[in-house]
């Protein structure tokens, strides 16, 4: 033990480098040198004078075994003495086996020690660092992940320390910072109960979304106003040396490493790779730009390299068809009833592919593809519309189950439960004694119990909206597309709640209307805290991308024409989606709010003048709806005055005279409910209505994912450009090389025979690459073309022109049936 202490380890060890970190810093870091010297001294003590260790011999042996990465000795000691996994040697100024594994970089041993019962938060007595703090100090992301998976607390401050693991996460450790930022670990946990803290360390988005169903008071979602640094800031991106050294993408010409050279036989494997990328490389599971970048490089090569328009369109349509199959959008027909039955789709997957379409749209605009391929723009608009519908309907299928219990039936006002109605049988019913106000005030001072929090309430409704907000943010969906998704969700929620109220007299009372309006205020509060707004530099302009092509675009939102009376209020126009999220939600919920207001004031309308004044205050209700509430649905309280009959007849007369014109002038969408006895028109809203969509224009995309106006944010432009990291380039090259090898051999009776005839495409690929290499060496493609012309050689490949003139045969080839069929069948049965 004296050798251990005398080695200098107890004098102050604050860092070390293991095998996972490498030997780059081992010689330059004195603390790691002390750790190595301490390990050598401990080994020498065990070999020469083990008696001085006394009862700590097993602890010393396991520390040496962990330091050397000896898993066999570690297993043997833990099998006999599992309690040693939490032992500290020396007791003052010592380490634990788990910390030793982290210090010396043996990540494979961390899992075994944790499974033996080691405490992932037990700090050493040397510098009072927890294992997670050591892992962050050494920039060991694998160790960080394993510790968090075993419930290590990233916000725990060890005794004797003034900092927590989160405090050590800095921008100079980009991978760990990215990991903590992505999983929401940089923010402190509200509250403080262990019940809520234990769920903050999940390492995937599915666990984060599942968390929203359990702890409504503590779940926090990323917001634009966080105190942590912006991931797209030049300061943060400047710490990534690979990004700094990356050259800017050249959209105008084919440069090396900016296109993928392939043949049509490679497409099935490349498509499989693009659609399996998020599961094959978990590091990129939420980075949607890489599938878009791969497809864009394929399209560039087909268009500019092979110069084949048909081949380029074939690649694009293969991708769209495959995406439609994966996202279940082939039919283009959507019914909310089917989504409710099936439980909806995976919102994470849908949001991911929505982001892929967004980045592909950005790259095609930058690469000037739309003037030549206007159908691509129409396909992307239709796919965006389909994905927005699937995403919103999937969220609505979850919200639909919560409408009754969390919005319509949830009651927080005591008086609402005690109201007696004229239609009800109240002979044996008595009002309950009102609870003491002092007791109510005292009860409100205490936080709600877990049981109370788990009961249906508007808070659970907001959790689903929070999940949608989270997946859209984590995939970097543009604000205009996010607004469309939220608007579609709000429209359905409004129509659903509106129709339930209009179909049941249970909710058509003034006290019930007050309670439902109070529940809706919780949604309004959520909209205020999560509000965002798309930048409004220049609205629209997508049609200008295909000017001169004589193509029209369908299902595209357009700006309002002329001077509208209330601009930005109609969801059928693009201007509406440049409002804030709070205003969009208020407009979509306005019919429901007006209905609740009408229920609250209807019985107070005593004369015709007051009635007309009241009705003129509402914009989204029609006379048919007024009359149904007045004549059939409304439930009067015992002491509530009834509406005069002449006023009901007056509203009925208005519905006959002015009702059709009022409905025609409205932008609402109605359902027609017809039965054998009654025909109700323009009463219920159509919840399945699907709005058109719009894609961001080039200026908006550059402001969001490019270098910005003036090109001052160069690193952000590099981050989102269609360049591929080395690991993805290697994977793609491996796929293409394997296919090339397979094409180079034919299988004949089990023997591989090399093909002598080369494919014409392969010949072109070689000639084309030689020409590009020559152009890069000379840096003058024009001179190269002139040189080829002077020599009389024409190496230009004309793509599909070899198939444009096909000469039909003069006669048909047919079998001579007069031959000996029996003998030929014996020779060749096929």
CATH number at residue 33: 1.25.40.20
Q: What are phi and psi of 693, to 5 degrees?
A: -125, 175
Tell me if 732 is assigned to some domain.
no
Tell me if 96 is assigned to some domain.
yes
Q: Which of 183, 208, 223 is the last residue of a domain?
A: 183
Could you give the maximum distance between any two Cα atoms of the chain, in Å?
Answer: 110
Q: Highest mean pLDDT: which of 196-205, 312-321, 455-464, 697-706?
A: 312-321
Looking at the DSSP bridge assignments, the partners of residue 619 are none
Q: Rounded distance, CA 780 to CA 766, Å?
A: 20
- pLDDT value at residue 34: 61
pLDDT band at 465 (very low <50, low <70, confident <90, very high): very high
Q: Is residue 388 pLDDT above 90, yes or no?
A: yes
Q: Is residue 22 pLDDT above 50, yes or no?
A: no
Residues 134 and 264 in one domain: no
Residues 148 and 272 in one domain: no
Tell me if 233 is assigned to some domain.
no
- pLDDT value at residue 340: 67
- pLDDT value at residue 507: 92
Residues 300 and 179 in one domain: no
Q: Rounded distance, CA 257 to CA 824, Å?
A: 56
Q: Identify the CA nearest to 277 among candidates 254, 293, 266.
A: 293
Q: Which of 123, 152, 183 is the last residue of a domain?
A: 183
Contacts of 719 (CB under 8 A, 6+ apart): 232, 237, 243
Q: Which of 183, 216, 249 is the last residue of a domain?
A: 183
Q: Rounded distance, CA 10 to CA 135, Å?
A: 20
Which of the pair, 452 or 685, is modelled with greater confidence? 685
- pLDDT value at residue 229: 55
Q: Identify the CA nearest to 174 among candidates 104, 245, 229.
A: 229
Q: Highest mean pLDDT: which of 104-118, 306-320, 526-540, 782-796?
A: 306-320
- Long-range interactions of 536-540: CB distance < 8 A, separation 24+: 536/578, 537/699, 537/700, 537/703, 538/697, 538/699, 538/700, 539/574, 539/575, 539/578, 540/574, 540/694, 540/697
Specify the range with the lowest mean pLDDT, choosing from 43-57, 81-95, 813-827: 813-827
- The domain of 308 spans 258-396
Average pLDDT over residues 815-830: 50
Residues 179 and 30 in one domain: yes
How far, rounded to the nearest angstrom, does the alpha carbon of residue 771 sit from its chain's CA centroid?
A: 42
Residues 269 and 148 in one domain: no
Mean pLDDT of the chain: 79
Contacts of 632 (CB under 8 A, 6+ apart): 505
- pLDDT value at residue 345: 83
Residues 39 and 129 in one domain: yes
Residues 281 and 169 in one domain: no
Q: Is residue 777 pLDDT above 70, yes or no?
A: no
Residues 276 and 163 in one domain: no
Q: What are phi and psi of 14, to 5 degrees?
A: -125, 0
- Count of residues for the chain? 830
- 247: helix, strand or coil: coil
Average pLDDT over residues 782-806: 46
pLDDT band at 426 (very low <50, low <70, confident <90, very high): low
E-strand stretches of 689-796: 745-748, 751-754
Residues 31 and 147 in one domain: yes
Q: Rounded distance, CA 728 to CA 116, Å?
A: 38
Which residue is listed with tokens 């691509």?
376
Q: Identify the CA nearest to 502 among candidates 334, 643, 632, 620.
A: 632
Looking at the DSSP bridge assignments, the partners of residue 680 are 673
Q: Is residue 293 pLDDT above 90, yes or no?
A: yes
Average pLDDT over residues 488-514: 93
pLDDT band at 441 (very low <50, low <70, confident <90, very high): low
Residues 154 and 271 in one domain: no
Q: Is residue 358 pLDDT above 90, yes or no?
A: yes
Tell me if 341 is assigned to some domain.
yes
Tell me if 329 is assigned to some domain.
yes
- pLDDT value at residue 37: 66
E-strand stretches of 558-713: 670-674, 679-685
CA trace torsion 766, 769, 774, 779 (10° rounding): 170
- pLDDT value at residue 129: 86
- pLDDT value at residue 793: 45
Q: Rounded distance, CA 65 to CA 86, Å?
A: 15
Q: Rounded distance, CA 492 to CA 496, Å?
A: 6
From residue 222, alpha-carbon distances to 178, 226, 285, 466, 529 in Å are 13, 7, 18, 10, 11
- pLDDT value at residue 599: 94
The total number of structural domains in the chain stands at: 2
Q: What is the pTM of this model?
A: 0.70
557, 573 Cβ separation under 8 angstroms: yes
Q: Is residue 487 pLDDT above 60, yes or no?
A: yes
Q: Is residue 214 pLDDT above 50, yes or no?
A: no
- pLDDT value at residue 785: 45
Q: Rounded distance, CA 208 to CA 367, Å?
A: 37
Question: Is-cis flag, bond preceding 359, omega within 30?
Answer: no
Tell me if 452 is assigned to some domain.
no
Tell me if 280 is assigned to some domain.
yes
Q: Identify the CA nearest to 96 among candidates 88, 108, 105.
A: 88
Q: Rounded distance, CA 324 to CA 322, Å?
A: 5
Q: Identify the CA nearest to 139 among candidates 163, 173, 110, 113.
A: 173
Q: Is residue 789 pLDDT above 60, yes or no?
A: no
Which residue is listed with tokens 């903050």?
200
User: Rounded to the nearest 5 degrees, what angle is found at the Cα of 70, between the Cα atoms of 64 and 75?
Assistant: 100
Q: Identify the CA nearest to 253 among candidates 616, 605, 780.
A: 780
Contacts of 76 (CB under 8 A, 6+ apart): none
Average pLDDT over residues 461-474: 94
Count other C-beta atoms under 10 Å from residue 710's C-beta.
6
Tell me if 237 is assigned to some domain.
no
Orientation angle between helical segments 30-48 and 57-68, nearest 10 degrees = 130
- pLDDT value at residue 718: 94
32, 69 Cβ separation under 8 angstroms: no
How far, rounded to the nearest angstrom, does the alpha carbon of residue 520 sit from its chain's CA centroid?
A: 27
Q: Is residue 639 pLDDT above 50, yes or no?
A: yes
Give the tens place of pLDDT for each residue, 648-661: 999 999 999 999 99
E-strand stretches of 595-678: 670-674
Q: Is residue 230 pLDDT above 80, yes or no?
A: no
């Amino acid at each position: 033990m004296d050798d251990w202490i005398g080695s200098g380890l107890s004098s102050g060890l604050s860092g070390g480098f293991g095998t996972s970190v490498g030997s780059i810093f081992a010689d330059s870091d004195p603390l790691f040198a002390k750790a190595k010297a301490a390990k050598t001294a401990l080994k020498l003590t065990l070999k020469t004078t083990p008696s001085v260790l006394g009862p700590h011999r097993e602890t010393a042996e396991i520390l040496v075994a962990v330091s050397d990465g000896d898993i066999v000795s570690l297993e043997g000691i833990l099998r006999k003495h599992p309690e040693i996994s939490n032992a500290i040697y020396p007791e003052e100024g010592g380490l634990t086996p788990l910390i030793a594994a982290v210090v010396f970089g043996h990540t494979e041993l961390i899992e075994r020690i944790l499974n033996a019962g080691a405490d992932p938060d037990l700090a050493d007595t040397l510098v009072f660092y927890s294992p997670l703090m050591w892992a962050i100090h050494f920039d060991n992301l694998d160790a960080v992940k394993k510790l968090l998976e075993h419930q290590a607390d990233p916000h725990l401050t060890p005794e004797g320390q003034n900092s927590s693991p989160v405090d050590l996460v800095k921008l100079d450790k980009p991978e760990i910072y990215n990991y903590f930022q992505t999983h929401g670990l940089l923010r402190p946990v509200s509250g403080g109960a262990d019940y809520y803290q234990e769920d903050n360390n999940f390492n995937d988005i599915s666990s984060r979304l599942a968390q929203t169903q359990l702890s409504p008071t503590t779940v926090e979602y990323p917001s634009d106003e966080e105190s942590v640094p912006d991931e797209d800031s030049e300061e943060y991106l400047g710490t990534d040396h690979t990004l700094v050294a990356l050259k800017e993408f050249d959209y105008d010409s084919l440069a090396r490493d900016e296109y993928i050279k392939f043949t049509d036989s490679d497409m099935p494997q490349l498509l499989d790779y693009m659609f399996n990328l998020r599961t094959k490389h978990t590091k990129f599971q939420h980075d949607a730009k890489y599938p878009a970048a791969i497809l864009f490089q394929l399209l560039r090569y087909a268009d500019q390299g092979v110069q084949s328009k048909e081949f380029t369109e074939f690649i694009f349509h293969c991708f769209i068809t495959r995406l439609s199959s994966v996202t279940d959008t082939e039919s283009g027909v959507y019914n909310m009833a089917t989504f409710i039955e099936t439980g909806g789709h995976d919102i994470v997957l849908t949001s991911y592919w929505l982001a892929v379409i967004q980045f592909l749209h950005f790259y095609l605009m930058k690469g000037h593809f739309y003037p030549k391929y206007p159908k691509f723009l129409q396909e992307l608009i239709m796919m965006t519309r389909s994905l927005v519908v699937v995403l919103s309907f999937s969220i609505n299928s979850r919200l639909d189950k919560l409408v009754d219990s969390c919005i319509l039936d949830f009651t927080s006002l005591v008086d609402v439960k005690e109201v007696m109605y004229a239609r009800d049988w109240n002979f044996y019913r008595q009002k309950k004694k009102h609870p003491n106000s002092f007791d109510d005030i005292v009860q409100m001072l205490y936080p709600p119990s877990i049981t109370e929090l788990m009961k249906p309430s508007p808070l659970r409704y907001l959790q689903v909206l929070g999940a949608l907000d989270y997946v859209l943010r984590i995939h970097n969906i543009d604000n205009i597309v996010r607004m469309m998704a939220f608007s579609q969700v709000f429209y359905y929620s409004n129509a659903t709640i509106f129709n339930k109220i209009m179909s049941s007299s249970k909710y058509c009372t003034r006290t019930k209307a007050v309670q439902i309006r109070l529940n809706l205020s919780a949604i309004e509060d959520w909209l205020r805290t999560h509000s965002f707004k798309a930048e409004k530099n220049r609205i629209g302009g997508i049609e200008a991308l295909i000017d001169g092509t004589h193509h029209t675009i369908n299902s595209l939102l357009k700006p309002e024409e002329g001077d509208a009376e209330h601009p930005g209020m109609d969801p059928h126009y693009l201007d509406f989606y440049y409002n804030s999220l709070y205003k969009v939600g208020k407009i979509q919920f306005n019919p429901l709010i007006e209905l609740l207001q009408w229920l609250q004031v209807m019985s107070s309308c005593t004369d015709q003048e007051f009635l007309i004044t009241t009705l003129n205050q509402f914009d989204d209700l029609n006379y048919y709806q007024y009359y149904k509430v007045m004549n059939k649905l409304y439930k009067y309280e015992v002491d509530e005055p009834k509406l005069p009959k002449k006023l009901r007849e007056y509203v009925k007369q208005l519905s006959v005279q002015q009702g059709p014109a009022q409905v025609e002038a409205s932008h609402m969408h109605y359902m027609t409910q017809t039965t054998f006895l009654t025909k109700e028109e323009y009463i219920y809203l159509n919840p399945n209505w699907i709005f058109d969509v719009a894609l961001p224009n080039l200026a908006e995309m550059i402001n969001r994912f490019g270098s910005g106006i003036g090109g001052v944010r160069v690193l952000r432009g590099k981050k989102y450009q269609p360049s591929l990291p080395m690991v993805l380039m290697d994977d793609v090259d491996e796929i293409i090389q394997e296919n090339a090898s397979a094409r180079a051999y034919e299988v004949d009776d089990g023997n591989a025979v090399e093909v002598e005839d080369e494919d014409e495409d392969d010949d072109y690929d070689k000639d084309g690459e030689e020409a590009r290499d020559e152009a890069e060496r000379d840096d003058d493609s024009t001179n190269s073309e002139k040189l080829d012309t002077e020599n009389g050689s024409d190496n230009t490949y004309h793509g599909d022109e070899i198939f444009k003139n096909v000469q039909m045969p003069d006669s048909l080839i047919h079998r001579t049936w007069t031959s000996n069929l029996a003998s030929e069948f014996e020779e060749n049965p096929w």
